[in-house]
Amino acid sequence: MSARDVKLDFERHDRLGFDEAILCAGKSPEQLATILDQAAEKGAPLLLTRLDGAQLKALAAGHTDRIDYEPLSRTGFFGAVAEPKSAPTVAVVTAGTSDVPVGREATRTLAYYGVASLAINDVGVAGLWRLMERIDEIGALPVAIVAAGLDAALPSVVGGLSPGAVIALPTSTGYGVARGGETALNAALVSCAPGVVVVNIDNGYGAACAALRILRASSRAAPL
Amino acid sequence: MSARDVKLDFERHDRLGFDEAILCAGKSPEQLATILDQAAEKGAPLLLTRLDGAQLKALAAGHTDRIDYEPLSRTGFFGAVAEPKSAPTVAVVTAGTSDVPVGREATRTLAYYGVASLAINDVGVAGLWRLMERIDEIGALPVAIVAAGLDAALPSVVGGLSPGAVIALPTSTGYGVARGGETALNAALVSCAPGVVVVNIDNGYGAACAALRILRASSRAAPL
Amino acid sequence: MSARDVKLDFERHDRLGFDEAILCAGKSPEQLATILDQAAEKGAPLLLTRLDGAQLKALAAGHTDRIDYEPLSRTGFFGAVAEPKSAPTVAVVTAGTSDVPVGREATRTLAYYGVASLAINDVGVAGLWRLMERIDEIGALPVAIVAAGLDAALPSVVGGLSPGAVIALPTSTGYGVARGGETALNAALVSCAPGVVVVNIDNGYGAACAALRILRASSRAAPL
Amino acid sequence: MSARDVKLDFERHDRLGFDEAILCAGKSPEQLATILDQAAEKGAPLLLTRLDGAQLKALAAGHTDRIDYEPLSRTGFFGAVAEPKSAPTVAVVTAGTSDVPVGREATRTLAYYGVASLAINDVGVAGLWRLMERIDEIGALPVAIVAAGLDAALPSVVGGLSPGAVIALPTSTGYGVARGGETALNAALVSCAPGVVVVNIDNGYGAACAALRILRASSRAAPL
Amino acid sequence: MSARDVKLDFERHDRLGFDEAILCAGKSPEQLATILDQAAEKGAPLLLTRLDGAQLKALAAGHTDRIDYEPLSRTGFFGAVAEPKSAPTVAVVTAGTSDVPVGREATRTLAYYGVASLAINDVGVAGLWRLMERIDEIGALPVAIVAAGLDAALPSVVGGLSPGAVIALPTSTGYGVARGGETALNAALVSCAPGVVVVNIDNGYGAACAALRILRASSRAAPL
Amino acid sequence: MSARDVKLDFERHDRLGFDEAILCAGKSPEQLATILDQAAEKGAPLLLTRLDGAQLKALAAGHTDRIDYEPLSRTGFFGAVAEPKSAPTVAVVTAGTSDVPVGREATRTLAYYGVASLAINDVGVAGLWRLMERIDEIGALPVAIVAAGLDAALPSVVGGLSPGAVIALPTSTGYGVARGGETALNAALVSCAPGVVVVNIDNGYGAACAALRILRASSRAAPL
Amino acid sequence: MSARDVKLDFERHDRLGFDEAILCAGKSPEQLATILDQAAEKGAPLLLTRLDGAQLKALAAGHTDRIDYEPLSRTGFFGAVAEPKSAPTVAVVTAGTSDVPVGREATRTLAYYGVASLAINDVGVAGLWRLMERIDEIGALPVAIVAAGLDAALPSVVGGLSPGAVIALPTSTGYGVARGGETALNAALVSCAPGVVVVNIDNGYGAACAALRILRASSRAAPL
Amino acid sequence: MSARDVKLDFERHDRLGFDEAILCAGKSPEQLATILDQAAEKGAPLLLTRLDGAQLKALAAGHTDRIDYEPLSRTGFFGAVAEPKSAPTVAVVTAGTSDVPVGREATRTLAYYGVASLAINDVGVAGLWRLMERIDEIGALPVAIVAAGLDAALPSVVGGLSPGAVIALPTSTGYGVARGGETALNAALVSCAPGVVVVNIDNGYGAACAALRILRASSRAAPL
């Protein structure tokens, strides 16, 4: 693996407002090092996702020193990130404890871009009262990311109660027919609530990018 | 097709408390006639399911005269059925208008055995208030059959609010990822509510038979 | 089918800003008539989707007279709709001629709520120059709905070039491995462009509702 | 992971008669400790499922001391459980030796709620005489949970011979086309015996909860 | 379609002991006529399968006159067939009335080659007593073809009780999770009875050819 | 795991001519020991399949001493086995080197019952000349088991050239679309050669049992 | 449907050497008319695929007059096509009679571009001698398109015997596990012969375009 | 495993121009040693694919000494290989860093046969400008192998811009709906660009063999 095998999209920021983000899963230490070097040389920040502890340890100190790492979400910020804004604009809602790491990936991606979020955990519909206690907070924000596995009933219920943008984030929680998140994904796609949109299984990063696109849309749209 | 190609299970009633039931879909008029003749000869009643109007018309008058037919559910009672009981013991709940025919198949099967049911239609979770208005009625009955297609969030919500037996009845409502009811089925199987059980897609007959088994169980069980 | 089998969610408008919408496919004339009567009585407008010509003809004149029908998208407006705004805020982009009816369902749903859209058809990536001619127009609007079947490469390319919200709308165009839109759906879900969101196959209605949620979000969000 | 990432549904007992149950698979020691602490603080008992030996060891002594653990089923009782009743009301039937751990999860869940069960193992239909020796015992109880993998022929045969409630519990036993239990699940869903209901693959916990709902139903239902 | 588009395998008889067999489904009248002409010219008999009534009618009288047609199985014998043997050597067992046409295709294919069979219908395991009445007859023959749809429990039960060769013939009977016979097929492939073999869904012709291969094997094998 | 969790089918030999066979994969040392003890007590021999080296080592010496183990096929004979016959009656044909272990499981199962087989390896159709050199030997035996992964073209070619019974044994060889043997299985089920039968993926044991049933059939069948 | 909904890629010829081709299936007469008008105006020829007889009849005479239609392949040439070359450079091989229409679509597409092909039909591997008679002719040409359904063993056998480019063209022939061509497709993708490439199910047009790309490659490549 | 379990196809070179290639994954050291010995004895070179570092180490020095190993692609050349040609004739294009190992397998296979290739990495469509910088180089070569995972939009875009032969090489990059490369594979098969051909997931070896067949075709084809 040499430098000519890597060509990062540093123009992405100007084009889309997103920096390059590196999916670290499956990449060797050499590949990661090549990528970090190329970014460092350009002075470009990077968002690292699915970077597990073992991969982090295998990097040279010169690299790890510059990474702000959060283990639950396995995300790292390489280089300078945006100044955080104080008021949350995105609700990140999870159905159960097992969905928290995926939700955290979304929260961290938003934080990388300076967007504060409101985390509301463990409000799955099996105990509906927990959601009802918090639904007004969710509905008051422009965007909600709703992470749920199993039957993913939560995005439908939120979508039926909250008028904002609702991004369903299916997770791989569960066993058997949960099929690694496929059932949650499919249930979200055929949600009985109108206008719920969906991203790939366990893709907290993608859900956050979608929220960012939506928030940006507001600067160009006249209010409805 | 001759009489020796058909051997009905007339001993089923004594063994299980169920009469023979005939799934009419895919059977020719000759096959149906042979079956009805065999039942008539034995003096045994039959429940006919998925009997469409065209099949009914193709039967001889001697047969149709003895069939009590209901078109929405495509069910027919052949021969004498049980005396109806007055108080409903099963709630038959549907998420949307398109699920009503499947729910009606359950209602009719229960009626064949003299069991009254309470039909509660169009209470899908996209408009949760509709369910909330009726949830106490549902929870007051020992068994609820919950028919829903799409993301089948309704059985989960009912299962999280009602302590009785909950039978999820997935329906083939919807298009695309609804996949003819597969998504509803899978979502019901991984319901986040504990102890929800599931039957085959569009199988209103089977859901009703399960309810009957449960109701019978009570005559042999000491209260918990 | 009687009136008590139908319970429309007329509170939805106040809760979510959406009127009831009726998926007409698979509903009988009696079911549709019951629904229209209930809406008429309430003075509530309805959006009708997947209403084919034969169903329309089977309705009574008193009903059809009040329906503004568009055949390509098979949509009908029942009752008064919103005053149209002049400037488009949503781009509705299709990859090929066969995707136009699905795109049109989105356009019509937006129109029902008074939102103008910019239709850009037949710009699939097999002839990339066609998209390049129009990409600046697309990127200038806050939201793009991108309808494509087959390999659904178009949402990825648009998502890589346009900073606004991008809603992939997979269509059932194609045969064989296209699998009725499943391949397009999956390709969109794993789009290499960050932050593309997805709705169910052929669900132009849902894509438009998502766009409406996004546009509304802007009235509550401070610009990013 | 902090306490605010966990919100247990302690109201579930009053609502449904079920305590919170924790699916331990995939949870870190920190997550489990947070959950146990929250339960201990409330004085609420918990049922722990899929708690493997390594997870148990990783807990602090203060936690493990309070857990009544059974390794074959990987279940733990945290806190006081119900007084056992003497007479079994549920038959827990398994097709082969490999299905015993899943059946044991059902048995243990029932025991947590004070319900005794009758375990009948290794009576798969390949050697039908083994089932025939025990079928009268099974038929005498109000509910049978039937655990089987591979072709899951056992629930159909039991359902054809026993009039009580029959809950099919498909297991992931087998290889190749067994597909981790999918074939057993599907076979159970289309069982030729009327009124057999089904739960998720390897979900002994869910099967037991369904049995509990059914037993409770009897206290509210007049005998059929 | 011209004669040079068809090249029948008339050498098959000498090589394998099978004549050419024509799967008529999906072939146009012209294609069928070209095939029959080629066979007639060679003086070679043909077995026609899945020849529906409309196709038969569309053929010229010169062709239909020479076809011995049986409508339930949709099979036709073109030209001279083997002299029938009197004693049956193959049991053709079906689970339900809907499986009879597929079983009949097997019976007819055997008859084409002069092999008599014993048809035993409607002995599905939901009413096990029906099978038990006939199991000794089945076990006395060297080969059993067992046609069943839904959960295909019948081949497993027969395979567990009969020592002869057991060919499972899954059928497309049923709806929902029956998936056009896929569930029956998979259940048969993972049968808990040892040594059950399987053919394609609804392939009565293939099951019969397998039986013929097995019967022939006996002329070359010393008894075990 | 106690003795009452295991009930071996020792009557199987008299009923079907097969001894009990134990699929060892997924069983714990305790479970295996309980089974072996029960067999030893009865004086009944056992065939052990998918017994890997680690499991073997974990058994007590008193058990391992009595096991005749073959590592490539992972099979063990526990107790006395049949006297081997000299002349092979079954050809066990494999497409490639990776298919040999599965083929060997078949060979060993046959050997357990005293049946000699002829192994013909590495004759896949990519180099057709290799098969052509051996086809006459294959065709001279009453039964051929043909093990192949990937596209499983070999059973079709053998089935088109050899008149004996042909049992396709799909293997999990390959990657990607090979899907752990699913493609090989499906290709074998729709083989263009008439009368090829199929067993589960990697099920060398089942293929051998089928061959044994076929060989036995010959002692009860008059030659065709 | 108006002209602005259609934007044909008339620059494709200069870019890729391909004219626009219209997949007619699913397009209305109005859509087809708009497309033909646009092409006529530009003086651009079109290849029409999957144009069935009913669609052709629904076109105006001014359009049909200019279409050279072939019914078996459902292809039409609109406008002037290339002068045919005399010597065939592509073999189009089919396994069975039912595969001929798909093969013919390839033949016709090649003819549209002036490339002659050699059709070799009905040479499936069930009767291997038929292929062996023609294999030298196939091997003498630079490209072979091999159309086969069911188990698609033919492309593997051709790929193992012929050194030229081999394009597998899976067809939807067959029933049950044939799954509309999926099994043939998968078998071709994991062909045991090295370097076989694959196109979508029934996509004779695509196979021919691939052959054209390959033939063109030769004008730019030095011989290997 | 003995020598008679291995029969290499050394005639392949003369027949097809390919040497034997050994897929090492899943083979034991003994199996590999037997194969290398057989090749060494014949003086035949071998291409080794999917040979991981642990397998290499387990071989005897006498074997490893003769293997030219490249770790990223896990390929080894055993024995003498072709003299490299200087000018590249195949472009090997990858969408992202994670696709490079698969692309490298293609490059190495080409090198084994003396064919030089041009590697162009990290040009996925999310940053389209990267591809546009290199598209003329790609289009100038007769064959392009395009490796991409996720939505595999790259082969479609290349196929729409380059007139040469385009071989899509789907990779297993990604998670969730990427499904180990299935989505990339399916997207490539229904590519909207005409004449793109496809090989199995991660099959760099097969893509290179296809390129070799195409290059050879040119020596027998008159230029188009």
Residue C77's nearest CA partner among C32, C111, C117 is C111
E65 found inside a domain? yes
What's the rounded Cα separation, in Å, for the pair F157 and F176? Answer: 24
What's the rounded Cα separation, in Å, for the pair H211 and H215? Answer: 6
Q: CA F156, F161, F165, F167 torsion: positive or negative?
A: negative
Q: What is the mean pLDDT of chain D?
A: 92
Q: Is the Cβ of E6 closer than 8 Å to some Cβ of chain D?
A: no
What's the rounded Cα separation, in Å, for the pair C207 and D6? Answer: 34
Tokens representing C154?
Answer: 């178009």
> What DSSP letter does each residue of C105-140 carry, written as one string?
HHHHHHHHTT--EEEE-S--GGGHHHHHHHHHHHHT
Residue E220 pLDDT grade (very low, low, confident, very high; cuts 50, 70, 90): low
Q: How far is the CA of B58 from the CAs of B51, B71, E99, H43, in angstroms? A: 11, 15, 22, 77
Tokens representing D218?
Answer: 């009897």
B120 found inside a domain? yes
D213 and D103 within one domain: yes
* Residue G49, H or E segment: strand G46-49
What's the rounded Cα separation, in Å, for the pair A106 and A145? Answer: 8
Tokens representing H29?
Answer: 């050291």
Mutation choice for B interface testing from D197, D212, D219 by most B CBs within 10 A: D197
Among candidates C121, C175, C178 on the partner chain, residue whose Cβ is nearest the Cβ of G7: C121
E173 found inside a domain? yes
* For range D143-148, the mean pLDDT: 98
Tokens representing G131?
Answer: 């292929």
Q: Are F210 and F181 in contact (CB under 8 A)?
A: no
Last residue of a domain, one of A51, A78, A105: A78
| Contact (CB<8Å) D130/F9 | yes
Residue H86 pLDDT grade (very low, low, confident, very high; cuts 50, 70, 90): confident
What's the rounded Cα separation, in Å, for the pair G207 and D132? Answer: 59
Contacting D residues, span 139-158, partner chain E, CB-CB under 8 Å: 150-153, 156-157
Position F224 scores a pLDDT of 47
The torsion angles phi and psi of E132, rounded to 5 degrees, stand at: -60, -35
Residue E8 pLDDT grade (very low, low, confident, very high; cuts 50, 70, 90): confident
Position G220 scores a pLDDT of 58
What's the rounded Cα separation, in Å, for the pair D103 and F36? Answer: 22
pLDDT at residue B1 is higher than 70: no
What's the rounded Cα separation, in Å, for the pair G125 and G153? Answer: 7
Residue C2's nearest CA partner among C45, C33, C44, C25 is C33
Distance, in angstroms, between C64 CA and closest chain B CA? 21
* Residues pairing with G167 in the sheet: G145, G197
Q: What is the largest CA-CA distance in chain C?
A: 56
Q: What is the mean pLDDT of chain F?
A: 92
Q: Are A92 and A106 in contact (CB under 8 A)?
A: yes
E219-223 own/partner pairs: CB under 8 Å, 24+ apart: E219/F218, E219/F223, E219/F224, E220/F140, E220/F141, E220/F142, E220/F164, E221/F89, E221/F142, E221/F143, E221/F215, E221/F218, E222/F87, E222/F89, E222/F218, E223/F216, E223/F218, E223/F219
B109 and B43 within one domain: no
Position E223 scores a pLDDT of 44
Tokens representing E160?
Answer: 């567990």
Q: Is the Cβ of B200 closer than 8 Å to some Cβ of chain E?
A: yes
Last residue of a domain, one of D21, D44, D78: D78
| Contact (CB<8Å) C198/A199 | yes
The amino acid sitting at G7 is K
* Residues pairing with F23 in the sheet: F49
Position E224 scores a pLDDT of 46
E3 found inside a domain? no
pLDDT digits (tens, 9 = 90+) for F116-143: 999 999 999 999 999 999 999 999 999 9
Q: CA D105, D108, D112, D115 torsion: positive or negative?
A: positive
D95 and D55 within one domain: no
Query: In whole angstroms, what separates CA H16 from the centre of its chain?
Result: 17
Domain extent, residue D74, equals: 9-78
Among candidates A197, A212, A218 on the partner chain, residue whose Cβ is nearest the Cβ of C218: A218
Mutation choice for E interface testing from G175, G182, G183 by most E CBs within 10 A: G175
CATH number at residue E127: 3.40.50.1970
B2 found inside a domain? no
Q: Hey, which chains touch G, using 3+ CB pairs under 8 Å?
A: C, E, F, H
pLDDT digits (tens, 9 = 90+) for G163-195: 999 999 999 999 999 999 999 999 999 999 999
Residue A224 pLDDT grade (very low, low, confident, very high; cuts 50, 70, 90): very low
Q: Is the Cβ of C72 closer than 8 Å to some Cβ of chain G?
A: yes
Position G224 scores a pLDDT of 46
E101 and E54 within one domain: no
Contacting E residues, span 98-127, partner chain F, CB-CB under 8 Å: 115
Total tally of structural domains belonging to chain B: 2
Tokens representing E128?
Answer: 């096990």
pLDDT digits (tens, 9 = 90+) for B111-145: 999 999 999 999 999 999 999 999 999 999 999 99
What's the rounded Cα separation, in Å, for the pair C103 and C93? Answer: 7
E115 and E71 within one domain: no
CA dihedral A19, A20, A21, A23 (to 10 degrees): 170
F190 and F110 within one domain: yes
Q: Would you call H121 helix, strand, or coil by DSSP? A: coil
Lowest mean pLDDT among C82-96, F202-216, G205-219, H2-16: H2-16
Q: Are C203 and B176 in contact (CB under 8 A)?
A: yes
CA dihedral D36, D39, D43, D48 (to 10 degrees): -70
Distance, in angstroms, between H154 CA and closest chain A CA? 15
D83 found inside a domain? no
| Contact (CB<8Å) A11/H127 | yes
Query: By CA distance, what is F122's nearest residue in H?
Result: H7
H115 and H72 within one domain: no
| Contact (CB<8Å) G98/E23 | yes
G42 and G99 within one domain: no
pLDDT digits (tens, 9 = 90+) for D51-98: 999 999 999 999 999 999 999 999 999 987 777 777 999 999 999 999
| Contact (CB<8Å) A7/H175 | no
The torsion angles phi and psi of G76, rounded to 5 degrees, stand at: -135, 145
Residue G2 pLDDT grade (very low, low, confident, very high; cuts 50, 70, 90): confident
Residue G127's nearest CA partner among E27, E46, E10, F151 is E10
β-strand pairing of D90-94 with D75-78: unpaired
pLDDT at residue D194 is higher than 90: yes
Among candidates D157, D186, D194 on the partner chain, residue whose Cβ is nearest the Cβ of E125: D157
Q: What is the mean pLDDT of chain C?
A: 92
pLDDT at residue C13 is higher than 60: yes
Q: Would you call A183 helix, strand, or coil by DSSP? A: helix
What's the rounded Cα separation, in Å, for the pair E99 and E203? Answer: 11
What's the rounded Cα separation, in Å, for the pair F46 and F42? Answer: 11
Residues of E in contact with B182 (CB under 8 A): 177
A1 found inside a domain? no
Q: How much of chain A, in percent, has pLDDT values that exceed 70? A: 96
Q: Is the Cβ of H173 closer than 8 Å to some Cβ of chain A?
A: yes
E2 found inside a domain? no
B108 and B18 within one domain: no
* Residue D76, H or E segment: strand D75-78
| Contact (CB<8Å) C222/A143 | no
pLDDT at residue C1 is higher than 70: no
F60 and F97 within one domain: no
Lowest mean pLDDT among E62-76, F6-20, G52-66: F6-20
G174 and G100 within one domain: yes
Q: Is the Cβ of A2 closer than 8 Å to some Cβ of chain H?
A: no
D114 and D72 within one domain: no
Global pTM? 0.95
Q: How many CB atoms lie within 10 A of CB G133?
A: 12
What's the rounded Cα separation, in Å, for the pair G109 and G73? Answer: 10
Q: How far is the CA of H163 from the CAs of B216, E70, G83, G196, G219, in angstroms? A: 72, 55, 21, 20, 12
| Contact (CB<8Å) E198/F198 | yes
CA dihedral B40, B41, B47, B51 (to 10 degrees): -60
* Residue B44, H or E segment: none
pLDDT digits (tens, 9 = 90+) for G68-93: 999 999 999 998 777 777 799 999 99
Last residue of a domain, one of A78, A101, A120: A78
| Contact present, C and F (at least 3 Cβ pairs less than 8 Å) | no
Query: By CA distance, what is E169's nearest residue in G?
Result: G176
Distance, in angstroms, between B70 CA and closest chain A CA? 29
